[in-house]
Structures are given as structure tokens and as C-alpha cells.
Amino acid sequence: GPVVERSLELFQPANPDYRGKTLLDVLDETLTPMGGRLLRRWLRSPLLSLAAVVERHEAVGELVNRPAILEALRAALSPFRDLERLAARFS
């Protein structure tokens, strides 16, 4: 909840005068607004199922271990800055 988010400094530093990084700042290497929102959702609502955690961990591991595929994926997604909002306009 909000208390945990503040205590862990997930999205905002505990002290507003402090210019340190939040966990989101450290982890966020997203290229698109859509990716940024997804990362925020993942931090705000972590997986509860061990199987789901393992599946996500393996998927991330594949991208880390295959940088060429990661870069190709990033290049393919970068022109589509915000597919979520674009799709919402048409629905």
C-alpha cells in the first residue's frame, strides 16, 4: 500500500528535499511511456505466484543473456511510443 511505497521509496524520495533516486529511477530503462507505466504497475502490484515470478525471471534472463535480441526488440518497439493510449482512442 501507500505506506510501503513511501517506506521503500518506490516512486518518491521519503524526504522531498533529497534528490536521491527512487527504486523506479534505478530500475527504469524503459523507452516508451507504455513501458514506464507497465514497470510502475509491476512495482505497485508485485506478482504473488511463485510460478509467475519464475516465468518473468526466465523471460528477463533470456533478454539479458541475448543482448542482440533485446536491442532488436527495443528498436522494434521504439517507433510505437504509446500503443496503449493509441488503442484506447479506437476502442
DSSP letter string, the chain: -HHHHHHTTSSS-SSTT--PPPHHHHH---SSHHHHHHHHHHHHS----HHHHHHHHHHHHHHHH-HHHHHHHHHHHTT-TTHHHHHHHH-
pLDDT at site 70: 94
pLDDT digit string, tens, across residues 49-91: 999 999 999 999 999 999 999 999 989 888 877 777 777 788 7
pLDDT at site 49: 98
Backbone angles phi, psi at 40, to 5 degrees: -60, -45
The chain-wide mean pLDDT, for the chain, equals 87
36: Cβ contacts below 8 Å, ≥ 6 apart: 28, 30
Topology of 2-90 in CATH? MutS, DNA mismatch repair protein; Chain A, domain 3 (1.10.1420)
pLDDT at site 10: 83
Q: What percent of the chain has pLDDT over 70?
A: 100
